[in-house]
Amino acid sequence: MNCTRLQQVLDAHIDGELDATTNRDIAGHLSECSACAALRDERITLRHTLRTHAPYFKAPPALAPALRRAMAQSVAVAKPRSAGLSWFHAAAFATVAALAGLLGGYWLAQPLADYPLREPAVASHVAALAPTHELIQVASSDQHTVKPWFQGKLDFAPPVKDLSGDGFTLLGARLDHVADKPAAAVVYRIRKHVINLFVWRASERAPDALATSSVRGFSVATWAADGLRFAAVSDVEARDLARFAQRVSSP
């Protein structure tokens, strides 16, 4: 963990969004680097100051009665086209409101999905590039060597593709985590840029659609397929990572 990488994940560290391994690396760096430790303290102090001293404006007590009176007057002067239509609209509104409440309650009661976990994936990518970490545990450009290496190490088989024809060189793979989820990390390179392809078991609510974004200066592509969740992370240009993700996700 160096200063540049720490600054990329510092906010996620302060907010408790990183995995235990990355947090240990950050703690080790902070114990040795006074500049980064001072930056961490500044961020924590700023957060506390905002939460403590940010202005909070409370509505005056007379506002609610005034709004109710104004709404009552609007209803009184409104002329419905017909009594039947008014009752129909009221019944329809009540039905929609009830359904919305039921669906909202059901959705909130469900466990949070693992989608998209972009921040933890970026944190694992950054941690893997640190000199103290092992980027590759099985080094090979042969997909038939890399894929069997995962047997017995994970309860799923991550796809490993030869994409050298598209400019993406397979370097190897390792075992990793995305947040608290065991993951396979298949490592590729395009030009001088490393791409970490993280694969883990998807939750039932993880959407399948391929989505690209930028997180802390890194390009991220996420999607789900065949019960697995994918996150490709790199500092390569977004269009290159999108092309990589499309090739990996294609049959």
Q: Are 14 and 44 in contact (CB under 8 A)?
A: yes
Q: Looking up tokens 């469900």, which residue turns up? A: 110
Q: Helix, strand, or coil here: 173?
A: strand
Element (H, E) at 185: strand 181-190
Higher-pLDDT residue of 3, 76:
3
* Same domain, residue pair 31 and 149: no
* Same domain, residue pair 40 and 128: no
Q: Write the pLDDT tens digit of every residue in 198-244.
A: 999 887 665 678 888 888 889 999 999 888 999 999 999 999 999 99
Tell me which range, 50-64, 101-115, 117-131, is most confidently predicted by mean pLDDT. Answer: 117-131
What pLDDT, on the 0 to 100 scale, is given for residue 53?
A: 62
For the chain, count helices (H), then strands (E): 8, 7
* Same domain, residue pair 224 and 127: yes
Q: pLDDT band for position 111 (50/70/90)? A: very low
Higher-pLDDT residue of 80, 192:
192
The pair of three-digit structure tokens given for residue 167, joined into one six-digit string: 């400019």
What pLDDT, on the 0 to 100 scale, is given for residue 17?
A: 76
- Cα 240 to Cα 237: distance, rounded to the nearest angstrom: 5
Residue 129: how many other CB atoms lie within 10 Å:
15
Residue-level length of the chain:
251
Residue 104 belongs to a domain: no
- Cα 114 to Cα 181: distance, rounded to the nearest angstrom: 9
Q: Are 199 and 182 in contact (CB under 8 A)?
A: no
* Same domain, residue pair 35 and 127: no
Domain carrying residue 184 = 118-249
- Cα 150 to Cα 122: distance, rounded to the nearest angstrom: 22
What pLDDT, on the 0 to 100 scale, is given for residue 64?
A: 77
List % helix, strand, coil for the chain (3-state, nearest 5): 50, 20, 30
Q: Write the pLDDT tens digit of every residue in 133-192.
A: 889 999 999 999 999 999 999 999 999 999 999 999 999 999 999 888 899 999 999 999
- Percent of the chain residues topping a pLDDT of 70: 77
Q: Report the CATH number that the domain containing residue 201 is assigned in CATH.
A: 3.30.200.100
What pLDDT, on the 0 to 100 scale, is given for residue 109?
A: 41
Boundary-marking domain end, from 53, 68, 87: 53
Q: Write the pLDDT tens digit of every residue in 97-110.
A: 555 455 445 443 44
* Same domain, residue pair 48 and 165: no
- Is the pLDDT assigned to residue 77 strictly greater than 90? no
Q: Are 58 and 163 in contact (CB under 8 A)?
A: no
What pLDDT, on the 0 to 100 scale, is given for residue 112?
A: 40
Neighbour-count burial for 197-231, b at 16+ CB within 10 Å, e otherwise: bbbbebbeebeeebebeebbebbbbbbbbeebbbb
Q: pLDDT band for position 41 (50/70/90)? A: confident
* Same domain, residue pair 140 and 45: no
